[in-house]
């Protein structure tokens, strides 16, 4: 599965992410790539249910965990979390379905 995310401001892309979910040695792996200049980083699936998937890479600087959860109202919630400079850090990304317009 492939995905693309981009954030726009004033008609310009200010953030982009390419995502891939695939198999590596029989394990499910989520591999995001931020922008076009950073290397992709693999995160292995550690927990999955009908409404949630959690991926982890404890060797990564930040984040070490990525969570996606389908909410009861049909929206998607994402969170990145881990430790950075000895401090626990999280970032939440609530999303909702929208029309794609050009």
Q: Count of CB atoms within 10 A of residue 81's CB?
A: 18
**Residue pLDDT, tens place only, 31-46:** 999 888 889 999 999 9
- The torsion angles phi and psi of 82, rounded to 5 degrees, stand at 160, -160
Assess if residue 101 is contained within a domain.
no
| Ranges of the chain with pLDDT below 50 | none
Assess if residue 102 is contained within a domain.
no
Assess if residue 74 is contained within a domain.
yes
- In eight-state DSSP terms, residue 90 is E
The whole model's pTM is what?
0.87
Domain count, the chain: 1
Q: Residue 77: what pLDDT?
A: 96
Q: Note down the domain range covering 26.
A: 2-95
Q: Residue 60: what pLDDT?
A: 95
Evaluated on CA atoms 100, 97, 39, 11, the torsion sign reads positive
């Amino acid at each position: 599965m492939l995905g693309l995310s981009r954030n726009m401001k004033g008609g310009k892309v200010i953030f982009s992410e390419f995502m891939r979910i695939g198999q590596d040695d029989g394990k499910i792996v989520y591999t995001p790539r931020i922008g076009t200049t950073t290397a992709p980083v693999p995160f292995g699936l550690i927990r999955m249910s009908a409404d949630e998937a959690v991926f982890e890479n404890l060797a990564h600087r930040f984040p070490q965990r990525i969570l996606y959860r389908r909410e009861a109202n049909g929206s998607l919630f994402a969170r990145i979390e881990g430790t950075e400079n000895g401090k626990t850090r999280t970032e939440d990304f609530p999303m909702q379905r929208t029309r794609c317009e050009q």
